[in-house]
């Protein structure tokens, strides 16, 4: 099959989401404020890395061009990455990390629950497990949004700042083109637009609990699904890929 196969592109999009996020969360291991949070962030990181590996390995198989999951992860350049721009936003402070995770989780829970009944059994199998992981992640991240939002003056200010900073990258989660429409018609993909009600309801309920508000500015940055990224991915990829590029085919 060609690289333009819609299933290949769809798997890259979902796989890159998780790969880029796992790389960011991995950088936090050993830096969290408490041992318990350090292990928690490592757990979440590894969940996303596991999802990324499954999706990218499957993508490589669908492509049938001799590339494997490592090749896809480590040898593609920025413009070939298909993650939504939210995933590449920086860790920032703890509030930013948790707000980003919260928006991710509110998107991935309905995504994986939908994919769990996909006509593609490989995707459905993966999604059933991933949905469990995402539901647990959502419980944790939404808890932190509420705790910090409805906390002290400083924690509230910082969580509101994080929500304001990350909200403009959320619409990209729901971007869709003919890749999704073809696969939705075949019962394989989930229509990103159909995830919006769960996302919006979850965000509204949690922010209300957290005494936070969404920014009124309507600006949204999209384009990640076409490889049009914010500058941050260009910093993340060299760090992630340098070892593999220096030692082609290395195993570690």
Partner 1 sequence: MQHETASPATPAVGANPLWEVFVRAKRGLNHVHAGSVHAPDAATALRHARDVYTRRAEGVSIWLVASTAIVASDPDAQGDWFEDDKPYRHPTFYTVSDEVGHL
User: Which residues of the chain form contacts with partner 1 (CB under 8 A)?
Assistant: 34-37, 39-40, 43, 139-140, 143
Q: How far apart are the first and last CA of the chain?
A: 30
The least distance separating partner 1 from the CB of residue 46, rounded to whole angstroms, comes to 9
Measured from the CB atom, the residue of 37 and 171 that comes closer to partner 1 is 37
- Rounded to the nearest 5 percent, the helix, strand and coil shares of the chain are 70, 0, 30
* Whether the Cβ atoms of residue 141 and residue 147 lie closer than 8 Å to each other: no
Measured from the CB atom, the residue of 141 and 175 that comes closer to partner 1 is 141
Cα–Cα distances in Å, from 130 out to 35, 125, 175?
25, 9, 21
DSSP one-letter string for 84-131: -GGGGS---SHHHHHHHHHHHHHHHHHHHHHHTT-SSHHHHHHHHHHH
The least distance separating partner 1 from the CB of residue 136, rounded to whole angstroms, comes to 8
The least distance separating partner 1 from the CB of residue 38, rounded to whole angstroms, comes to 9
Measured from the CB atom, the residue of 9 and 51 that comes closer to partner 1 is 51
Measured from the CB atom, the residue of 40 and 232 that comes closer to partner 1 is 40
Name the residue among 19, 52, 166 with its Cα closest to residue 106.
Answer: 166
The least distance separating partner 1 from the CB of residue 19, rounded to whole angstroms, comes to 21
The least distance separating partner 1 from the CB of residue 39, rounded to whole angstroms, comes to 5
Q: Is 44 exposed, middle or buried (0-12, 13-18, 19+ CB in 10 A)?
A: buried
Angstrom distance (rounded) from CA 234 to CA 23: 13
Name the residue among 65, 196, 180, 59 with its Cα closest to residue 123.
Answer: 59
The least distance separating partner 1 from the CB of residue 133, rounded to whole angstroms, comes to 12
Measured from the CB atom, the residue of 34 and 231 that comes closer to partner 1 is 34
Return the residue matching tokens 């989401």: 17
Measured from the CB atom, the residue of 53 and 196 that comes closer to partner 1 is 53
């Amino acid at each position: 099959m060609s690289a333009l196969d819609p299933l290949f592109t769809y798997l890259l999009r979902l796989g890159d989401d998780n790969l880029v996020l796992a790389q960011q969360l991995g950088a936090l291991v050993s830096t969290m404020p408490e041992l318990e949070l350090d292990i928690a962030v490592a757990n979440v990181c590894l969940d996303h890395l596991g999802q990324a590996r499954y999706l990218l390995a499957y993508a490589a198989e669908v492509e049938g061009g001799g590339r494997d999951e490592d090749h896809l992860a480590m040898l593609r350049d920025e413009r070939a990455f298909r993650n939504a721009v939210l995933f590449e936003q920086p860790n920032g402070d703890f509030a930013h990390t948790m707000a980003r995770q919260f928006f991710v989780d509110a998107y991935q829970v309905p995504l994986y629950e939908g994919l769990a009944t996909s006509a593609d059994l490989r995707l459905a199998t993966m999604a059933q497990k991933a949905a469990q992981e995402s539901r647990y992640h959502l419980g944790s991240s939404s808890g932190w949004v509420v705790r910090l939002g409805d906390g002290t003056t400083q924690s509230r200010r910082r969580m509101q700042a994080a929500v304001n900073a990350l909200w403009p990258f959320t619409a990209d989660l729901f971007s869709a083109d003919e890749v999704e429409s073809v696969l939705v018609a075949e019962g394989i993909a989930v229509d990103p637009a159909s995830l919006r009600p769960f996302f919006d309801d979850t965000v509204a309920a949690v922010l209300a609990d957290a005494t936070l508000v969404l920014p009124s500015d309507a600006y949204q940055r999209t384009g990640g699904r076409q490889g049009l990224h914010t500058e941050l991915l260009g910093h993340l990829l060299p760090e992630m890929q340098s070892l593999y590029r220096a030692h082609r085919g290395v195993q570690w």
